[in-house]
Amino acid sequence: MQLFGIPNCSTVKKARDWLAHHAVAYEFHDFKKIGVNHALLENWLGQLPWEKLINRTGMTWRNLSEAEKSAVVDHHSALKLMLEKSSVIKRPVLVSDGKIVCLGFTEAAYKEQL
Instruction: Sketch out the chain's domains with CATH numbers.
Output: 2-113 (3.40.30.10)
CA distance 36 to 114: 24
Of the residues 9, 40, 79, 103, which is catalytic?
9
- The pLDDT of residue 32: 86
For the stretch 96-111, pLDDT in tens is 999 999 999 999 999 9
Report the percent of the chain where pLDDT is more than 70: 100
Averaged pLDDT score across all residues of the chain: 95
For the stretch 31-68, pLDDT in tens is 989 999 999 999 999 999 999 999 999 999 999 999 99
| Catalytic residue status for 102 | no
CB 88 within 8 A of CB 60: yes
Q: What predicted TM-score, i.e. pTM, was given to this entire model? A: 0.92
- The pLDDT of residue 7: 93
3-state secondary structure of 101: strand
51 burial class (0-12, 13-18, 19+ CB within 10 angstroms)? exposed
